[in-house]
Amino acid sequence: MGKTKNIFYAQSGGVTAVINASACGVIETAKKHRSRIGKVLAGRNGIIGALTEDLIDTSREKPSAIAALRHTPSGAFGSCRYKLKSLEENRAEYERLIEVFRAHNIGYFFYNGGGDSADTCLKVSQLSKSLGYPIQAVHIPKTVDNDLPMTDNCPGFGSVAKYIAVSTREASLDVMSMAKTSTKVFILEVMGRHAGWIAAAGGLASTKGAELPIVILFPEIVFDRKRFMELVERKIRRHSFCSVVVSEGVRSPDGKFLSDLGLRDAFGHAQLGGVAPALASMVKQDLDVKYHWAVADYLQRSARHIASKTDVEQAYAVGKAAVEFALRGKNGVMAGIVRTSNHPYRWKIQEASLARVANREKMMPRSFISRDGFGITARCREYLEPLIKGEAYPPYRDGLPVYVRLKNLPVPKKLSEDFEVG
């Protein structure tokens, strides 16, 4: 097999509107270095594909199909929610990984995900030597939650933020025009169980000259029902309506998720509600005004049709940088985004040590949340605004975006043994 080594690439955890742009960056950049890099082999359903030797040969896709990954949401090779255990708990898993890597001449391990995958990536980078097979592990950041440290922001977040900002603006205008005789409170539930970055993006909907009455409920701030209702009531008095953007992770003073109301249907069956309907019921009880609520759920993270151009470019860039880091002999690093200027917004990719990334969550700084706890500050706005900038529309056919589906042809297996994942 000469001096060239193959790349193993896998997608991990919840997918985003732009994670495939990172895959595109990896594959297109690798092709430019044929003297040193062989093929990019992708894990079918993430790391599970490595453990089960279910690898996808990306070289069998047309270049146009690979290019189309740039505008295709979701995880083109399949992702998974699967965290490798510690070496002590399941050494067999790591040994299996190395065995598969060795069998397929894989010299580079690229893991595209959030905190958990950064941790796995770090472990692989540390263990490969001790297990007698050198491999360079590079982490490619991805998370809609924007909660990774050592990077100014996470690819995937900017597009969700844009979706939430745009949707909040549009729905607020709708409510504004109906408020005289109909809905006065609109509640939008957004993702972000621990960190309020996505909820904060709702605040961008209101800008100078186009103000909107928006109240944000962050998971970082304990829910105070009385103060919240007073604020909503004030906004209604002044603007005739109020929009509420609420993070799924908001908790009441007793530490319980607000969505965890112990709902029962008429037959006594437990119901899993969202925080939006729970909050809507409280608004009904306390203020007795007409309300509507929406839960964006997967719509927000898959909305490639309204992706941020900045986000798409950064997602591609971190994939490209992973290849370049690998070629420069790096190991145990993440391709982080560094903001070098705000006006105009400028950024570059820089390596970050995975030891400083893994198992740490980046919460919203308190200085990004307004003093009353219900809004964003000017500093937060300055941080968020460039991340949603620019449009990067996918191509359309017959009114629908054209998203690529890869052939995802398997690499013939070389190992005789199956491996049980679990």
As a whole number of Å, the CA-based R_g of the chain is 23
Among 370, 372, 330, 374, smallest CA distance to 353 is for: 330
Are the C-beta atoms of residues 111 and 42 closer than 8 Å to each other? no
Q: What residue ranges in 296-365 does DSSP mark as E strands?
A: 333-342, 345-353
Q: CB of residue 33 vs a copy of itself: minimum separation in angstroms? A: 28
Q: Which stretch binds a copy of itself (CB under 8 A): 61-69, 105-113, 162-170, 371-379?
A: 162-170
- For the chain, the straight-line distance linking the first and the last C-alpha, in angstroms and rounded, comes to 33
Minimum Å gap between C-beta 303 and a copy of itself is: 6
Q: Give min distance, CB of 351 to a copy of itself, in A.
A: 28
Q: What is the rounded distance in angstroms from the CA atom of residue 131 to the CA atom of residue 143?
A: 30
85 binds a copy of itself (CB under 8 A): no
Closest CB 240 distance from a copy of itself, rounded Å: 9
Residues 100-139 that bind a copy of itself (CB under 8 A): none
Q: Which of 54, 116, 119, 145 is catalytic?
A: 145
Considering only residues 183-222, where is the footprint of a copy of itself by CB under 8 A?
Answer: 183, 186, 188, 204-205, 207, 210
DSSP result, 18-70: SHHHHHHHHHHHHHTTTTTEEEEEEETTTHHHHHTT-EEEGGGS-HHHHHHGG
The nearer residue to a copy of itself, 33 or 389, going by C-beta atoms, is 389
| Residue 145 bears catalytic tag | yes
Regarding 373 and contact with a copy of itself (CB under 8 A), the answer is no
Binding part of the chain for a copy of itself, among 26-34, 116-124, 290-298, 350-358 by CB under 8 A, reads: 290-298
Q: Is residue 45 part of the contact set for a copy of itself (CB under 8 A)?
A: yes
Q: Which is nearer to a copy of itself, 124 or 282 (CB)?
A: 282
Mark out the alpha helices in 134-218 (DSSP H runs).
157-178, 197-201
Report the nearest approach of a copy of itself to the CB of residue 19 (Å).
9
Out of 194, 292, 339, 413, which residue is the one contacting a copy of itself (CB under 8 A)?
292
CB neighbour class for 38 (10 Å; exposed up to 12, middle 13-18, buried from 19): buried
Residues 228-287 that bind a copy of itself (CB under 8 A): 261-266, 269-274, 276-278, 280-281, 284-285
Size of the site for a copy of itself (CB under 8 A): 89
What is the rounded CA–CA span in Å between residue 55 and residue 45? 9
The burial class, CB within 10 Å (0-12 / 13-18 / 19+), for 226 is exposed
Q: Which two tokens stand for residue 29?
A: 């950049």
Catalytic residue numbers read 145
